[in-house]
């Protein structure tokens, strides 16, 4: 049986949106970014860390939020180029090539959704979000079917979010929390997700520094074997993890900026045990 890793949720969990307030009619946030993970170890189904052949995952993606009213935003995450690779495998005794490396390039899984701000009073805000995960990526590429840019299932993720924004001595600050349920198809187990995020705006409002904690727990109600080789080696069933991330965003102008961030699991089951990196350029129309 092939040990499996998982990138499930990692891409969306690296998208920071500076609080949980709706954008407002005609306003939006748009980001082009690159995301990269190189992993040579993973958390097993018991939570231990085991080594594996080095695999990498890279994508170029677009993330956008647009306010179609003062309370309702549309959301899109489109990984328009995704690449999965594995290094050559050499004999530790003779140094000879045992298995040549492989790679695939394709589109990734697209997420589309809505965010509705149903409460806003003073510094508090609350919303409900629905995301639909479309199986647009490759879920069985390469010679053994384990090279993937998507998991091959259609999922529906519903969450509730509460945010609080204020300022200390003129320095903007926000904190938010979320709780959600991810309904998955194709015999994948459903997931419960929860997390916290906070940020502070420094240097005359030019720099956002943001930290995040995310937790994913499986409901173990799916029949798909998490160790099944046919399922692939980067997306798996019954994934669980506690992940942390951070991002710094710098506004070049009032609307245009660049960002750099990282994220990874500090504990988990059936997930990569190496951090990922992301960087991009964004347009924030307020």
- Segment 70-82 mean pLDDT: 95
Say yes or no to pLDDT of 9 above 50. no
Alpha carbon distances (Å) from 25 to 69, 70, 72, 74, 78: 4, 5, 8, 11, 22
Which pLDDT does position 91 carry in this prediction?
Answer: 60
Say yes or no to pLDDT of 77 above 60. yes
Which pLDDT does position 19 carry in this prediction?
Answer: 45
Say yes or no to pLDDT of 145 above 80. no
Which pLDDT does position 101 carry in this prediction?
Answer: 81
CA proximity to 213, closest of 195, 228, 200: 195
* Confidence bin at 52 (pLDDT 50/70/90): confident
- Segment 107-128 mean pLDDT: 94
CA proximity to 240, closest of 3, 86, 45, 106: 45
Please say whether the beta carbons of 75 and 132 come within 8 A.
no
Which pLDDT does position 89 carry in this prediction?
Answer: 73
- Segment 215-239 mean pLDDT: 72
- For 239-267, the pLDDT digits (tens) are 899 999 999 999 999 999 999 999 999 99
Percent of the chain with pLDDT over 90: 66
Say yes or no to pLDDT of 5 above 80. no
Distance CA 194, CA 13 (A): 11
| Domains in the chain, CATH or no CATH each | 10-88+98-285 (2.40.160.40)
CA proximity to 183, closest of 249, 246, 132: 132
Q: What is the pTM assigned to this prediction?
A: 0.90
What token pair was written down for 81? 């180029």
* Confidence bin at 236 (pLDDT 50/70/90): confident
């Amino acid at each position: 049986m092939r040990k499996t890793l998982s990138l499930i949720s990692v891409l969306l969990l690296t998208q920071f949106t500076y609080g949980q307030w709706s954008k407002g009619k005609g306003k939006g946030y748009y980001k082009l970014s690159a995301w990269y993970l190189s992993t040579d170890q993973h958390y097993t189904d018991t939570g231990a860390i085991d080594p594996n052949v080095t695999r990498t995952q890279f994508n170029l993606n677009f993330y956008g939020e647009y306010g179609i009213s003062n309370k309702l935003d549309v959301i899109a995450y489109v990984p328009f180029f995704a690449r999965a690779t594995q290094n050559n495998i050499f004999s530790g005794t003779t140094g000879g090539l045992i298995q040549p490396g492989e790679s695939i390039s394709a589109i990734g899984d697209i997420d589309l959704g809505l965010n509705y701000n149903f409460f806003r009073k003073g510094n508090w805000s609350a919303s409900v979000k629905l995301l639909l995960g479309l199986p647009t990526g490759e879920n069985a590429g390469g010679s053994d079917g384990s090279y993937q840019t998507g998991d091959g299932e259609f999922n529906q993720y519903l969450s509730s979010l509460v945010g609080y924004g204020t300022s200390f001595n003129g320095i903007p600050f926000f904190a938010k929390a979320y709780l959600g349920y991810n309904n998955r198809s194709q015999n994948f187990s459903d997931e419960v997700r929860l997390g916290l995020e906070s940020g502070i705006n420094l240097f005359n409002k030019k720099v956002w520094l943001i930290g995040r904690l995310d937790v994913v727990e499986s409901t173990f109600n799916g029949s798909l074997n998490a160790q099944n080789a046919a399922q692939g080696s980067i997306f798996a069933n019954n994934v669980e993890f506690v992940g942390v991330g951070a991002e710094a965003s710098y506004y070049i102008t009032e609307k245009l900026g660049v960002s750099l961030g990282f994220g990874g699991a500090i504990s988990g089951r059936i997930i990569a045990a190496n951090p990922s990196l992301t960087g991009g350029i964004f347009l924030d129309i307020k």
